[in-house]
């Protein structure tokens, strides 16, 4: 007898970014502006401003995805935003994309390593997600990991440009 419970998978991506933690966190924590570094996001609208109405914990956003991705839109909730510990937890709660029951936890810490006195920041993003029917666990992890790696590489490029004064968000 087969279980009706959906099979889930999980993974963790770690990226070291050559930028100070306050700069990296200032971009990552912007639940209202994921398109600043997430290149698969076309636009974002805050549907519900959270418990305090300020875009903090409990906020819900509608995200329009760029064409060509597996889906057009996503509805996401900010479950946790810890400014002191630099932790953010986001869940996908609706939409027509492949990442069903997706929940991610992103942690940001200052790296003890320095190259030529340049500050570095380590970003750790862990997630759990349902494996869609007809897909393998490996395919699902490959899909999600690829998007996260692409987003974190984009974040690294953005922070480098911001550090050199070439851009602001």
3-state secondary structure (DSSP) of residue 107: strand
Q: Which domain holds residue 86?
A: 9-164
**Cβ atoms within 10 Å of 117's Cβ, excluding its own:** 5
Describe the strand order of the beta sheet including 87-95 as a list of residue ranges. Answer: 8-17, 121-130, 103-110, 87-95, 73-82, 60-65, 41-48
The answer as to whether 1 is a domain residue is no
Looking up residue 38, the CATH number of its domain turns out to be: 3.30.530.20
The answer as to whether 112 is a domain residue is yes
The answer as to whether 118 is a domain residue is yes
Q: Residue 108: name the closest of 76, 143, 152 by CA.
A: 152
Full-model pTM: 0.89
The rounded percent of the chain whose pLDDT value lies above 90 is 72
pLDDT for 2 beyond 50: no
DSSP letter for each residue of 132-150: -TT--HHHHHHHHHHHHHH
The answer as to whether 90 is a domain residue is yes
- Give whole-number Cα distances, 38 to 59, 113, 138, in Å: 19, 26, 23
In contact, 9 and 104? CB cutoff 8 Å: no
The domain tally of the chain equals 1
How much is the average pLDDT of 86-112?
94
Q: Residue 109: name the closest of 145, 78, 126, 84 by CA.
A: 84
- The secondary structure of the chain in percent helix, strand, coil, rounded to multiples of 5, reads 20, 35, 40
The answer as to whether 169 is a domain residue is no
In contact, 78 and 56? CB cutoff 8 Å: yes
**Quick one: how far is CA 103 from the chain centroid?**
10
pLDDT for 53 beyond 90: no
pLDDT for 1 beyond 60: no
pLDDT for 19 beyond 90: yes
113-146 residue pLDDT tens: 766 777 899 999 999 999 998 999 999 999 999 9
∠ CA(148), CA(19), CA(29), 5° rounding?
55
């Amino acid at each position: 007898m087969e279980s009706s419970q959906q099979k889930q998978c999980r993974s963790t991506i770690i990226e070291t970014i050559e930028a100070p933690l306050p700069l990296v966190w200032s971009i990552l924590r912007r639940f209202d502006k994921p398109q600043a570094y997430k290149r698969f996001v076309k636009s974002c609208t805050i549907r519900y401003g959270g418990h305090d109405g300020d875009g903090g914990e409990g906020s819900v956003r509608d995200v329009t995805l760029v064409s060509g991705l597996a889906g057009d839109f996503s509805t996401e909730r900010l479950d946790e935003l810890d400014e002191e510990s630099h932790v953010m937890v986001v869940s996908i709660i609706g939409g027509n994309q492949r990442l069903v029951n997706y929940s991610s936890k992103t942690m940001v810490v200052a790296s003890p390593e320095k190259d030529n006195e340049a500050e570095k920041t380590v970003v750790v993003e862990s997630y759990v997600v349902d494996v869609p029917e007809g897909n393998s666990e490996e395919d699902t992890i490959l899909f999600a990991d690829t998007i996260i790696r692409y987003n974190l590489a984009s974040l690294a490029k953005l922070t480098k440009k911001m550090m050199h004064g070439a851009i602001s968000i």
